[in-house]
Amino acid sequence: MPLPPARRINSRGRRLDPLALLEHQGRDLDLELLRAQRDRSVIAHPDLPRDVVVELCHLGAHMEASDVASCHPLDGKLVITAFFEPSTRTRLSFESAVARLDGKLLSVPDAKVTGVAKGESLQDIGEMFNSYGDLVVMRHTRTEALEEIGTGLELPLVNAGNGSGEHPTQALVDWYALLKWRPCLADPEPAEDQRIHLGVVGTPGSMRAVKSFVFMALAFAPAIRRLTVVSEMADPFGADLHGAIERTAIPVEVTNDISEVLPELDVVYMNSIALLGDSYKQLDSRYRITTDSPLRPDAVIMHPLARRDELDVSLDDSRHNLYFAQAAGAVYLRQALLVSLLGRVHRLPFFD
């Protein structure tokens, strides 16, 4: 079935071409691996091993390159988006993904309109959701909230951010952008001059999106020449990430001087705010990046957005800007994930 090309792209910064990723892969989708994701939950980094990430990005690229709406892949499926911590980007990108594939939505944009405000337990809410939908996407201010709802919930659960825990689908979105930008990063042994010096500006231990991104980077160890974390904290990692770093051969360093390391980085990953219990801590103002920062000419900047001052708008029109393309790919990657978890891969036109 010939399909018209998809239309949406980022308006500024680098454009990322899904065909680049598809051509580099040069093989059919791994239908068995995608089918095996059916009814699984995505809570944290162990739920997304490297081969699954690559295949979801592969499928996402197919969805970005084609218009699959006419296949109605999620027809009859009902997704509950339960955002006990408010969100725009993540919630709307999941909801856009569902709507584009003709699924149905039950939206809880705010804890204040739920029984949680009256003191209902997450376990009871999980039990309730069993009867109401087919999959739950949940965000919560508390790290342990996923475990609590999981004691009652029997549906697949997708973590859209739990306190200072993880945000695994953001990491998927981030690596989808990286693999479109440089497809050989998915190779078992990328050429030496293609391997990246990755800089992370922020605190993985208390920034869930950064933590999930770094965990996923460790799973792509052959692609990472070096990892530098820029933070004013002596130990920005936290215990579980420490253990994972020690199990890889990637050289890792921490610095509090961004101007020293910036000229060496191929990829700069930034984030805006760290969760500290119920409050937020903004990124140290020294770590602001602008067009005046000493970036390599071909360096790219990633940011899960929303941003504050740390990422200057002067960069938006530059070739350093990978963050708009990163955001623009979010819907396709989440479509690939939902279609897999809901067991509807066979409805897509990419298989014979």
Residues interacting with a second copy, by CB under 8 A? 8-12, 69-70, 76, 78, 80, 83, 86-89, 92-93, 95-96, 99-100, 104-110, 112-121, 123-125, 127-128, 130-133, 152, 154, 273, 305-308, 313, 324, 327-331
Smallest separation (angstroms) from a second copy to the CB of 69 = 5
Smallest separation (angstroms) from a second copy to the CB of 38 = 13
Q: Which is nearer to a second copy, 179 or 265 (CB)?
A: 179
Closest by Cα among 190, 244, 192, 195 to 215? 244
Smallest separation (angstroms) from a second copy to the CB of 131 = 4
Q: Which is nearer to a second copy, 102 or 240 (CB)?
A: 102
Task: Please report, for residues 7, 28, 66, 328, the alpha-carbon distance to residue 70 in angstroms, rounded to integers and kept in the order given.
Answer: 15, 22, 11, 21
Q: Which is nearer to a second copy, 108 or 145 (CB)?
A: 108
Q: Which is nearer to a second copy, 50 or 104 (CB)?
A: 104
| Strands lying side by side in the sheet with 157-162 | 104-108, 78-83, 135-140, 157-162
Bridge-based pairing of strands 267-270 and 196-201 is parallel
Q: Which is nearer to a second copy, 8 or 346 (CB)?
A: 8
- Structure-block tokens of residue 100: 């584009």
Q: Which is nearer to a second copy, 252 or 333 (CB)?
A: 333
Smallest separation (angstroms) from a second copy to the CB of 165 = 19
Smallest separation (angstroms) from a second copy to the CB of 219 = 26
DSSP state, residue 217: H
The neighbour count for residue 128, using CB atoms within 10 Å, is 15
Smallest separation (angstroms) from a second copy to the CB of 266 = 24
CA distance 12 to 318: 8
- Structure-block tokens of residue 300: 């790219």
Task: Round the CA-based radius of gyration of the chain to a whole number and report it.
Answer: 20
Pair 28, 304: CB distance under 8 Å: no
Smallest separation (angstroms) from a second copy to the CB of 214 = 23
CA distance 75 to 133: 13
Give 138's strand partners. Answer: 82, 159
Complete DSSP assignment for 46-114: GGS-HHHHHHHHHHHHHHHHS--GGG-TTTT-EEEEEESS--SHHHHHHHHHHHHTT-EEEEE--GGGS
Q: Which is nearer to a second copy, 110 or 264 (CB)?
A: 110
Q: Which is nearer to a second copy, 109 or 349 (CB)?
A: 109
Complete DSSP assignment for 116-150: GGGT--HHHHHHHHHHH-SEEEEEESSTTHHHHHH
Smallest separation (angstroms) from a second copy to the CB of 138 = 13
Q: Which is nearer to a second copy, 12 or 242 (CB)?
A: 12
Closest by Cα among 276, 335, 272 to 302? 272
Q: Which is nearer to a second copy, 37 or 93 (CB)?
A: 93
Smallest separation (angstroms) from a second copy to the CB of 84 = 11
Smallest separation (angstroms) from a second copy to the CB of 12 = 8
